Amino acid sequence: MKIQQEQIQVENQKELASHKESLDFLSNKLAKNNHDVDGIISKLAEFQVAIPSWALGAGGTRFGRFGFYGEPSNLEQKIEDVGLIHSLTQTAGAVSLHIPWDVPEDYKAIKEKADALNIKFDAVNSNTFQDQANAKESYKYGSLSNVKQAVREQAIQHNLDVIKIGDKLGSKALTVWLADGSCFPGQNNFQTAFQNTQNSLIDIYKGLPDDWKMLVEYKPYEPNFYSTVIQDWGASLMLANGCGDKAYTLVDLGHHLPNSNIEQIVSILSLKGKLGGFHFNDSKYGDDDLTAGSIKPYALFLIFNELVYGMKNNPQNPELAWMIDASHNVKDPLEDLIQSLEAIQESYAKAMLVDQNALKAAQLDNDVVKCQEILQGAFRTDVRPLLEKARLNNGGALNPIKAYRSIDVRGQLVGERGKNSVATGL
Ligand code: PSV
Ligand code: MN
């Protein structure tokens, strides 16, 4: 299905008066404080976040998976779903594919479909954490780090194949997330595992086209519970440096131990020009993959504060690959992704309200109270009218969730796809 512009306009009419009133109020207030309101709105309108193909169906845990009606069951339908989110939010103009879950059968048709919906192909993700049917070697004891050369070679070749698939679609980045690690002390030699991983990544890197990036994701634990080979940003950074200029660290918010200071990690990677990509989600305990901003919105704002600072002051970084990496066990994924996009945009807008000059002056004065006031002043501002305006300018919905429900998108998808549709992938 496709949402027509007229349908969005009908929904927007219902909200327009109240939107105008709140936007006027906020714009006046911000203008008085010398904020470039139009500049912020156009930056919001430009900001696009990729939707991962695996987030469009129901996720699940090791205890079970509760499907829902109208899940996308093939790549075409997944792209269709991203198109639906994008038409309402105007913020989801890209999809990130997972291989081999999403290998196109007909590249031309898939590209045409994505083009028609204004969807680009963001980073492609390799999968060396599951054994595929007919695979010669098993990843049970690791992939790029495996003690057996034949396993490492299979995993390297898979990544090279993923690059080829992405290249045909117009992707410009490969994301490598490894499940490699150990469950028990003594199982692995840490140094051998790390060195094998470095050498394998270098082999993949050699196959990277000139205009591509390699993004190395880290995660402290799970599925292995004693050690993970690429456990933190330090390990990722060392591996990226060991590969070369086109390799970067990718920060997934859920991949930190509780209370880690993620904004500081972001800041230092940015300083070093090695921040390449970002996976948004939120968590209470670990890699919970919850809606961005649903648990710790202030932390998300502080992270964005560093990102905004970095985008302005650290041109040594590439254009970042933004993506939502979430899983949906109880909510309609499309609604949840819309909520994440809203939270991401909200944090971005608030971060743009931070008066960097005033903050620097207060820091130089060691005026701790003022520093906090500046950050919290921005965080406490209700910036939602700016997001609405950015969407409105681009033809999106003033209130995407309301419009989604009023148009009955899910109901129509169920009608079209039937009640037996079950998502592929995770
Ligand atoms: C597993 O933790 C994970 O969620 C990583 O964050 C990857 O980005 C994603 O799967 C896809 O491989
Ligand atoms: Mn991730």
Q: Is the CB of 279 under 6 A from ligand 1?
A: yes
Q: Is residue 353 part of a domain?
A: yes
Looking at residue 425, its pLDDT comes to 54
Q: Is residue 29 part of a domain?
A: yes
Ligand nearest to the CA of 124: 1
- Over residues 195-248, the pLDDT tens digits come to 999 999 999 999 999 999 999 999 999 999 999 999 999 999 999 999 999 999
Protein residue with its CA nearest to atom 7 in ligand 1: 177
CA distance 349 to 330: 29
The yes-or-no verdict on residue 424 having pLDDT over 70 is no
Q: Is residue 425 part of a domain?
A: no
CA distance 66 to 331: 10
Query: pTM for the whole thing?
Result: 0.97
The yes-or-no verdict on residue 56 having pLDDT over 90 is yes
| % the chain with pLDDT above 90 | 94
337 Cα to the center of ligand 1, angstroms: 16
Residue 173 · residue 215 · CB < 8 Å: yes
CA distance 76 to 46: 25
The yes-or-no verdict on residue 426 having pLDDT over 60 is no
Range of the domain at 259: 5-417
Protein residue with its CA nearest to atom 12 in ligand 1: 177
Q: What is the mean pLDDT of the chain?
A: 96
Lowest mean pLDDT among 13-22, 60-69, 89-98, 173-182: 60-69
| Ligand 1: nearest atom to the Cα of 127 | 12
Q: Is residue 423 part of a domain?
A: no
Residue 132 · residue 100 · CB < 8 Å: yes
Mean of the pLDDT values across residues 370-388? 98
- How many domains is the chain partitioned into structurally? 1
Q: Is residue 426 part of a domain?
A: no
Protein residue with its CA nearest to atom 4 in ligand 1: 325
CA distance 304 to 282: 14
The yes-or-no verdict on residue 420 having pLDDT over 90 is no
CATH number at residue 201: 3.20.20.150
The yes-or-no verdict on residue 423 having pLDDT over 70 is no
420 Cα to the center of ligand 1, angstroms: 27
- Over residues 277-311, the pLDDT tens digits come to 999 999 999 999 999 999 999 999 999 999 999 99
Q: Is residue 350 part of a domain?
A: yes
| Ligand 1: nearest atom to the Cα of 254 | 6
- Over residues 251-262, the pLDDT tens digits come to 999 999 999 999
The yes-or-no verdict on residue 11 having pLDDT over 90 is yes
Q: Is residue 424 part of a domain?
A: no
pLDDT band (50, 70, 90) for residue 67: confident
CA distance 192 to 12: 59
Q: Is residue 267 part of a domain?
A: yes
Protein residue with its CA nearest to atom 10 in ligand 1: 177
Alpha helices in 170-189 (DSSP H): none
pLDDT band (50, 70, 90) for residue 421: low
